[in-house]
C-alpha cells in the first residue's frame, strides 16, 4: 500500500515537472505573447495588397507586384520590378518586418498604410483625410481612421473616389470636394456657392463651384483651368482674378 502511494506521488511529481517544462518552453511563451499582445495582432496581415501576389521564401510569406524568383539567393532578389531596376514594386511580408542586407521589408499592413496615405494625399479633402480602398479597387475618404486593413471607413462621414477625370459630374465625389478646397477662398465680399452649370451648352450637365456677391458670379483660376483641361469652353465664366485687376464683371 505504501509502495502504491509513493509511486502515485512520483507520477504526479513527474507530470508537474513536464507541464512546467512545456509551459516554460520558448514556443509556448511565443504563443502566449502573441495572444496577449494586441500590437502583434495589429501588425499581422493575411492579404496581399491589390496588384501583388503571395509567395513563400525560406518558410515565410511575402507579397510582390513584380517578378518573383523563389530560388534567389537573397530575399531582396526574390521580388524585382517588372519594368526595370528603377520601376516601383510592392514588396512586403505577411509576417513581422524583416531586414535583408540593409533593406527593410515592411509588414504588408505597414506597407498598405503608407500606400493608402500616399494615394489620399492628392484626393481626400481635409475633413475626410483617411483614404481606404476596397479589395475590388474602389476608393473612399473617411473622417475616421478606417478599419484595420484600410479597406473601409468605420463611420458614415465619407466620400467616394470616382473613376475618370471629370468629377464635375458628381459634386459628392472626393475629387470635387478636394478641388473646391484646393482652389482657394473667394475674394473679399464674395461667398462660395455650388450650382449647376449654365442651362445651355456643354456645361449644363456639370456642377460648378464659384463665388458670388449676390449681384455677380465669378470663378477661380483653378476651376477654369480644370475645365479647360477637360476640353470645355469657359469663355462665358468670369474669372475672380479679374477683380484684383480692376476689370469689371458682368
Q: What is the pLDDT of residues 157-211, one digit of tens each?
A: 999 999 999 999 999 999 999 999 999 889 988 999 999 988 788 898 999 999 9
Q: How would DSSP label each residue in 177-200?
A: HHHHHHT-PPPTT-EEEEEE--SS
What sign for the dihedral angle of Cα 188, 193, 196, 202? positive
Q: What pLDDT is attached to residue 13?
A: 60
Half-sphere exposure of 74 (CA within 13 A, CB side): 10
Q: Which residue has the higher pLDDT, 89 or 13?
A: 89
CA distance 198 to 33: 65
CA distance 54 to 221: 47
CA distance 156 to 135: 19
Cα distances (Å, whole numbers) of residue 209 to 1, 140, 186, 221: 97, 22, 11, 12
The H or E element that residue 21 is part of is helix 2-23
- Give the rounded percent of residues in the chain with a pLDDT score beyond 70: 77
SS3 state of residue 98: strand
- Partner residues linked to 62 by β-bridges: 55, 93
- Partner residues linked to 193 by β-bridges: 210
Contact in structure between 70 and 58 (CB atoms under 8 Å): no
Q: What pLDDT is attached to residue 51?
A: 81
pTM above 0.75, yes or no: no
CA distance 36 to 30: 10
| 221-229 and 174-182 helices, crossing angle to 10° | 140
Q: What pLDDT is attached to residue 39?
A: 36
Give long-range contacts, CB 8 A cutoff, 24+ apart: 30-35.
none
Contact in structure between 209 and 237 (CB atoms under 8 Å): no
Domain map (residue ranges) of the chain: 53-106, 116-161, 177-245
Q: What is the pLDDT of residues 3-40, one digit of tens each?
A: 665 655 666 665 666 656 565 554 444 444 333 333 33
CA distance 107 to 96: 6
- The 10 Å Cβ neighbour count of residue 227 is 21
Amino acid at each position: 500500500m505504501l509502495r502504491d502511494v509513493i509511486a502515485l506521488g512520483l507520477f504526479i511529481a513527474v507530470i508537474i515537472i513536464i507541464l512546467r517544462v512545456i509551459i516554460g518552453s520558448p514556443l509556448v511563451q511565443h504563443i502566449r505573447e502573441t495572444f496577449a499582445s494586441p500590437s502583434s495582432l495589429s501588425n499581422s496581415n493575411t492579404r496581399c495588397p491589390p496588384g501583388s501576389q503571395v509567395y513563400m521564401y525560406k518558410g515565410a510569406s511575402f507579397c510582390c507586384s513584380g517578378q518573383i524568383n523563389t530560388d534567389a539567393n537573397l530575399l531582396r532578389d526574390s521580388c524585382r520590378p517588372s519594368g526595370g531596376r528603377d520601376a516601383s514594386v510592392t514588396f512586403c511580408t505577411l509576417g513581422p518586418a524583416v531586414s535583408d542586407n540593409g533593406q527593410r521589408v515592411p509588414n504588408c499592413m505597414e506597407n498598405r498604410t503608407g500606400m493608402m496615405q500616399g494615394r489620399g494625399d492628392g484626393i481626400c479633402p481635409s475633413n475626410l483625410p483617411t483614404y481606404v480602398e476596397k479589395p475590388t479597387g474602389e476608393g473612399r475618404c473617411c473622417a475616421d481612421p478606417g478599419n484595420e486593413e484600410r479597406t473601409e471607413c468605420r463611420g458614415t462621414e465619407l466620400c467616394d473616389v470616382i473613376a475618370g477625370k471629370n468629377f464635375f459630374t458628381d459634386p459628392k465625389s472626393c475629387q470635387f470636394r478636394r478641388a473646391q478646397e484646393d482652389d482657394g477662398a473667394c475674394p473679399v465680399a464674395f461667398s462660395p456657392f455650388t450650382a449647376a452649370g449654365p442651362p445651355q451648352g456643354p456645361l449644363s450637365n456639370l456642377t460648378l463651384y464659384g463665388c458670388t456677391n449676390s449681384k455677380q458670379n465669378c470663378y477661380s483660376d483653378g476651376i477654369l483651368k480644370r475645365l479647360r483641361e477637360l476640353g470645355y469652353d469657359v469663355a462665358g465664366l468670369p474669372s475672380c482674378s479679374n477683380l484684383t485687376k480692376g476689370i469689371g464683371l458682368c
